[in-house]
Amino acid sequence: MSKIGFIGLGIMGRPMAGHLLDAGHSLVTVKRGALDATLAEKGMQEAANPKAVAQASDIIITMVPDTPDVESVLFGENGVIEGLKPGTLVIDMSSIAPMQTQAFAKRITEAGGEFVDAPVSGGEGGAINAALTIMVGATDKGFESAKPLLEIVGKTITHIGGHGAGQTCKVANQIVVALTIEAVAEGLLFASKAGADVAKVRESLLGGLAQSKILDVHGERMINRTFDPGFRIRLHQKDLNLALEGARSLNLSLPGTANAQQLFQACVANDGADWDHAGILRALEKLANHEIGQ
């Protein structure tokens, strides 16, 4: 069993860490207030800072919100790199910028570690059920080293390519997810405004070509108006920023992505930064002056 440093115990990080503990691995994290009681009962330990976590671990997993957070954890004061032991496997499962990921990988490699970018998709439910989709950017050696751990928390694990390729795939994923959520919201809003029963419309659509996991899960959220976060709008907004910044550097137009980003921004302007991303429906409802089901 491995000694794992796990940094980032948020909505998805907590259940992921729990699965690793259940599999018999020992885990240590950075002390941040009271440790989750369930993780503490399973034996998770705490250390003062990322440097101390690295000193106590053979493998480091990071699961934090954004590119600057990863940079701070890895390379900031008392960062992981200061306590990195030769041969340490560093797996970043956050969703961050592909170009910066390549730079981070270079620094970790030069320090004697092995870097893997392994962002995930599947939301809170996927994390709880150990059914995440994991997109991996790594050397062949890094992928083979990380794979047994990734299989504990995920169901579909794909080695996309070299460093940064996992993050590129995740950005593409977030484009597709955002536009599909918007499409589901628009479809249900249209049906409701036209006087149809949106629950029956969703049921019918799930049997045809429009069927998707997003129509199933997020369509139900929209109808029930349950916008507590499985994945927060502000985080999806961050991912679409990565997409649009990348598109500019590639001289690429992504009009649908830009439109979805504006709808997310409208949600944020209405205190919805921490709504689930299915809450994009609320921005469309304001434009229509109509709530579905009304």
User: Which amino acids are annotated catalytic?
Assistant: 170
CA distance 116 to 89: 8
What residue type is assigned to position 157 of the chain? I
Of 246, 268, 59, the residue nearest 150 (C-alpha): 59
CB 7 within 8 A of CB 63: yes
Of 190, 183, 168, the residue nearest 257 (C-alpha): 183
CA distance 234 to 164: 22
CA distance 241 to 184: 22
CA distance 267 to 277: 9
